[in-house]
Amino acid sequence: MNSAVVRTLLVRGMLAGLGAAVPALAFAYLVGEGPVDAAIAFESANSHEHGEELVSRTMQSTAGLATGVLVFGVAVGGIAALAFCFALGRIGRFSARATAALTALAAFLLVYLVPMLKYPANPPAVGNPDTIGKRTALFFLMIVLTVLLGIAAVLIGRRLAPQWGNWNASIAAGLAFAAAVTVAMVFLPSGDNTPSGFPANDLWEFRLAAIGMQVVLWAGFGLLFGYLAERVLEPRTPRNQVPAPVA
Amino acid sequence: MAQSTAAPAPITKVAVAPLPLKSIAPWAVFFGVLMLVLLYFVGAEQGATSVLSGEGVHEWVHDARHLLGFPCH
């Protein structure tokens, strides 16, 4: 019975991820492709040896972009749905919808925004191919570290809440999280790869587009999945609607 | 339930019952891994590590990889 609920939530999470990836894809295409093209123009102008094109720019910026973003949406939607199944009823007295919104917010902050502050998204031409191994390892290390610190902060907050009250316990947990993340960021190696002469404006616009795309994705996921999850977990009519008498 | 039907429905905020871990675990293990494999192919294949030879996957999802924030090349 409960296993069937988890399966339904997982499927709905993947669907919500796919649904949220559609506006994120539109955002990436409309806002993000400009800075990508600008970066590629800089790359070509600075004599970067490029062999024959395997995939044309047109395909990369349309079908290729769509494949990546939609598959990403399905995958993170599924993982977020599993996290939601775990969080439901365990993080406090939140409804299914509120838990979905909090799960999406936590995923955005812990998997994207905070790690991004240390190792931000880079456009083409920014990043030395020789260091791809190190940069990939640090990128995923930062994500894992932030997620673990986030979970630790929630546990600390839950532990302190009975004595300190929810407000003070949340502040203490948030401060502990911020302090630990700051220490990690100070001690991890720098992610700076920007070649000299790369237009600062293009870099800023690219990163802004990358952040905006994740905001669209996670906001969409939180809202969509909250609606879908509520219909699984609380199928009764909402309180404010009096059910029509059955004739 | 000895609830009076005449009384207005009490607006009590009942905590949602947690789903038992036993029912989450099998889905989390199998689908969690499957989702991570999908993320690997979108985010990292033919970058730092390669399962498939060539550059086809990398080139196809190139723009998505950059915009999603994965280290690309």
Residue B25 domain flag: no
What pLDDT, on the 0 to 100 scale, is given for residue A48?
59
Q: Residue A10's closest chain B neighbor by CA?
A: B27
What pLDDT, on the 0 to 100 scale, is given for residue B48?
84
Tell me: the pLDDT tens digits for B11-24?
555 668 899 999 99
Residue B29 domain flag: no
What does the block give as tokens for A116? Answer: 């991004």
**Using CB atoms, which residue from A59, A75, A210 is nearest to B69?**
A210
Q: Residue B71's closest chain A neighbor by CA?
A: A136
Enclosing domain of residue B57: 39-68
Q: Is B55 on the interface with A (CB under 8 A)?
A: yes
What does the block give as tokens for A14? Answer: 């993947």
Q: Is B16 on the interface with A (CB under 8 A)?
A: yes
Residue B63 domain flag: yes
Q: How far is CA A148 from the centre of its chain?
A: 15
Residue B60 domain flag: yes
What pLDDT, on the 0 to 100 scale, is given for residue A51?
59
Name B45's bridge partners. B49
Q: Is B10 on the interface with A (CB under 8 A)?
A: no
Residue B10 domain flag: no
What pLDDT, on the 0 to 100 scale, is given for residue A97?
95
What pLDDT, on the 0 to 100 scale, is given for residue A155?
94
What pLDDT, on the 0 to 100 scale, is given for residue B12?
52
Residue B14 domain flag: no
B26 CB neighbours in chain A (<8 A) are: 3
Q: Region B38-46: what's the mean pLDDT?
A: 92
Q: How far is CA A47 from the centre of its chain?
A: 34
A215 min Cα distance to partner chain B (Å): 11
A33 CB neighbours in chain B (<8 A) are: 63
Q: Residue B12's closest chain A neighbor by CA?
A: A239
Number of domains present in the structure of chain B: 1
Phi, psi of A50 (to 5 degrees): -120, 120
Residue B19 domain flag: no
Q: What is the ipTM of this complex?
A: 0.89
**Using CB atoms, which residue from A85, A93, A132 is nearest to B48?**
A132
Single pTM value for the model: 0.89
d(CA B5, CA A27): 52
What pLDDT, on the 0 to 100 scale, is given for residue A247?
55
d(CA A91, CA A113): 22
Hey, what amino acid is at A53? Answer: E
pLDDT in tens, chain A (247 residues): 688 999 999 999 999 999 999 999 999 999 999 999 999 999 888 865 655 678 898 999 999 999 999 999 999 999 999 999 999 999 888 999 999 999 999 999 999 999 999 999 999 988 888 888 999 999 999 999 999 999 999 999 999 999 999 999 999 999 999 999 999 999 999 887 788 889 999 999 999 999 999 999 999 999 999 999 999 998 765 556 555 555 5
Q: Residue B44's closest chain A neighbor by CA?
A: A136
Residue B51 domain flag: yes
